Every structure is written in structure tokens, then in C-alpha cells.
A and B are shown apart, each in its own frame.
Chain A
Amino acid sequence: MGKTHNLAKIYLGAVFAVLYAPIAYLVYYSFNSGGTMYAFEEFTWEWYQEVFQDTRLFVILLNTITIALLSAAISTVIGVLGAIALANLRHRRMRNALLTLNNVMLVSPDVIIGASFLILFAAIGIQLGFTSVLLAHIAFSVPIVVLMVLPKLQEMSPTLIDAARDLGASWWDVLARVVIPYITPGIMSGFFMALTYSLDDFAVTFFVTGAGFSTLSVEIYSMARRGISLTINALSTLVFLVTLLLVVGYYIISTRASNSRQVRWGVASR
């Protein structure tokens, strides 16, 4: 058994190394004064200075963050309302139909979403730019929020609501003081997922962004098509650090939320 264990460790280590190698590679060469991704000359901060001095890039970064926060917030509201409505829908057939549509959006390839939104925006006369990108991001984030919140609602015992109502709570009290607090972990992960979906999206944005508006992914794409530039490396180091911070923050929040459960698991596994 010990032997397989070591093999397992080596295998995991290899997968791990391969997954991180490209990122490490990018970070390493972001400090190269040589200007290429193969011959390391001297250590330099030059590319980072370039990133911070580039006002155009700064505006794009602001756009990206604005779109991500706004779309995550709005899609979380729509998604939570939708999930509550879905969970309470008596009509089984109807609920399944709506859930299928929800899944259609989730599994739809980016190109389809992008192309169909492009047609839609052209048809209803929305100019391509900030608005179209924001609408598109809200649209593709809603189903993931629903997916994160719905299980929480389903695992909630209906007796909780009955008890609250027996004690004289109005529907608003039930919602604000029983349901919402109970599903908050789901809402948080929904919001977080929506945020990362938006920050990460390239394909859909690429379709619905006009000439004047750009997000980070689209900008990186057009930069990368022009060839290697170590400014992109410096940028990726920064993006990676921010991603790391976000994920660690999320991990801390989610483990704190489920801490009591993990303690129980720990006991059970012994």
C-alpha cells in the first residue's frame, strides 16, 4: 500500500507541476530585461513600469472590474429571485422546463452565446460597447447563480418557514430573516462564481464588444496576436496575484461557513 501511495504522490506532483509551469514561466520572464521569453538577461522592473504607466490599459482594467462587479451583483439578484421562485414552483413540469432552459445557457458554448447575443443586440438596436457587454455578462452569469442557490433552498427544511409563520412572521420577515440568511453561503458562492465568469470571459465579450470598448481578456488577445511582449507577462503576474488573493479569500470565507460540518467529518472519519 505504501508503494502505491508514493506513486500517487509522484503522479499528483507531476500534474501539479505541469499545471503551474506555464504560469511560473510567464512570471519568471516578466523580469527579463532581454525582451524575449527565452533568453533571460537581467532582472528588471521595466515591464511592470510600462503596465502602470499605460493609461489605456488602466482604463481597460477599470472597465473590466466595473463590468464584473455590476454584472455579478445584478445577476445575483435575478438568480436568487429565480431560484426562490423555482424552488416554490408547484408545477413540476414547468419547473423542469425552466431548469432545462437554465442548463441550456450553462452548457452553451461561448461562441453560440456570443453570436446569438450579437444578433440580438443588432436586432433590438443596442449599440455595441459598455451596455452590450454588461448585458451579456449578466445574461451568462444568471444560471450559475441559480445553480449555486437552488440546492441550498432545497435542503432547507420547510418546517423552518412554517415555524416562522406560526410565530407570526410576515412573508417579508420569512424571506429576510429565515430564507436569505439560510441560503447566504449559496448566494456568496453564486456571486463569486459570477464575478470570476465575468473577469475570465473572452469569447462572449469578443463578439459583443464594439470598437471603442475593451476588457482585459479582449485586450490580451489582441496583444498576443501581435506576438510576444513582456508587458503581457508583467500583466499576467499581476492578474495571477489578484486571482490568488480572491481565491484565498473565498476559501477562507467558505471554510469558515462550513467549519462546523468539517469538524463533524473529522470525527466521523476517525
Chain B
Amino acid sequence: MRARLLAAAGLVIGAAIATTSVAVAAFPEKPVTIIYPWAPGDPVDTVLRTFGEHAAAKLGQPVVINNVQGAGGTKSLTAGATAEADGYTLVNNWVAPQIGAKLFNPDLPYDNESFIPIAGVLAIPFTITVAADHPANTIGEFVAWANDSGTKLNYGVCAPQSVPRLVGEQFMRSAGLDYVPVPFSGGCMGDNVTGLLNGSLDVAVSVVPATKRFEGQVKHLGLIADERHALAPDLATAGEQGYEIGWGNTALGWGGLAVPAGTPDDVVAMLQTVTGEVLQSAEFKADLGDLAPMIKYVGPDDFKQLWTDSLDLLRPHVEAILANN
């Protein structure tokens, strides 16, 4: 019985090895999955699905989006890091779960070395946002208003352990503002923006698309980014208004594609090439329509460098928050 079991196990392992080597030779020979961490139907989901259609045409295999939600994206990254390293599973990695959450919670079963970069895909800058009826229209006016009022500002944060929180707080500090961070849930267009509308909050960190969703109810005072963004070309950056935070691309909500460490080099190279071609193609951007300005292609080497830079830059700030908790 035992011998038969062993023989059977040997057969299975042998078959597994055989299929792996064949798979590399003819990659891809079955559908490719992208693990995606946020809500189905949100703009990023649409971007990835459109990307999937274009990539499928080049790969000759369907690209499936697998939604693994929960715990601020860390479930998705965990699934991505522990997936089989055969190139058939990509993960849509984001700065928040990969860098921010990892710094807050070192027990998470992944780090930057668990992944191989395929490409940076999206970059969404954060904004300093107030209710539409707030007297200030620029960051300068807001700072003057805050100093005149002489109170501590109630400042709404998207989530307690999030990168936008760190970015927003860096802005508040560099502007010399006195504030209490009030963490909400539901993302940067969620309950924290509602807090502005119902007067619980003075100011919040949000994202450009909030203007469209909360049209006429909120206004952005400035973008916390090095350069203006195509989604809102008229919105001046904080730096232009004299409040530079100096975090570069780390201050962006960046997201991209990665595969688990150990994926064969030739498969990685193929995925990198195909992804780069799709992201830079005019047809892809045309298909995205209004969402196209969210795309920011970053090559694999630069993307990897962004991971390292973000980790180094954010570490002391997370440690400061943890020390205060």
C-alpha cells in the first residue's frame, strides 16, 4: 500500500515537473489571472479589465480578473505572493498594502522581495479637500484661515494605516498646521468626504475623482504631487502654491503589476514586454476614455526602485505613528 502510494506520489510530482517545463516553453497555454484588491466595478477594476482584453489579444489567452478584497488590500498581496510562480498569476500591487501596511504590520507574509515587477500601471495623486462652502479657495487661504481660527483642525483620513494618511499628514506638518487625524473607512472618496459634508471635519485627504462624484459639494485646494495631473489639469499642486512636501512619486497612490518571486526569467520578460506594449499603445488609452489619465507607465526597473524608495521614505513616519499609538 505504502509503496503504491509512494509510486503514485512520484508520478504526480513527475507529471507536475513535466507540465511546468512545457508550460515555460509555450507560455501562456492557459488563462492568466490578475489578482485585484479593490471593489468590483470601481475605476481601477475597469482599467484592469480593459488592460486584460488588450493583453489577451497579445498573449493568445484570456486574462481573468480575480477579486480578492479585504484588509486594505493585504489579502490580495498575500494571495499574490503565495501564488505559484509560473507567470499565470499576477497581482495588482499598490503602495498602500505593499509598503504602508507592511510597515504598520511587519507580520504580513510578504515584502518587496516577494515580488518581481512587471510594470507600474496607475498613479493617482492625493488632494487636500474641503467642503464647497469653505471660505478658502487655495492652500494659502486655508492656512491663513486655520491660523486665524486658532483651533486644532479635524483632519479626515481615508484609513488609519494608509499611505494617503502619511502623505496628508506630511502636508499638514509642512504647512505648520495643528491637527487631529480622524481615521475613517471606505477609501479616500468614502466616509471622510462625508465627514466634510456633515461638518464633522475641517479638511480631508482625498483624490481627484472625488470632484466628479461630489460635484458642487467639495472642492480641492491643491494636489499633493510634484506635477499637475491630467485628470484635473487646472488644479495647482501644493508645491506651486508654496507648500512643497518633497516626497516625489512616493506621494502618489501608485499601483502596478507584479508576479511572485521565483517566476522564470523568460516568462517575466515576456509579461514585461507585453504589458509595456499595451500600456503605451494608443488603442488602449482610447478604449479607456475618461480613465486614461490615470495610467502612468513605469518600466520594471524604475518600478522596483519606486518600491525601495517608498519603503525607505515612509518607514520613519510609520514608526512615529506607531510610537504614538
Please say whether chains A and B are actual partners in one complex. Answer: no
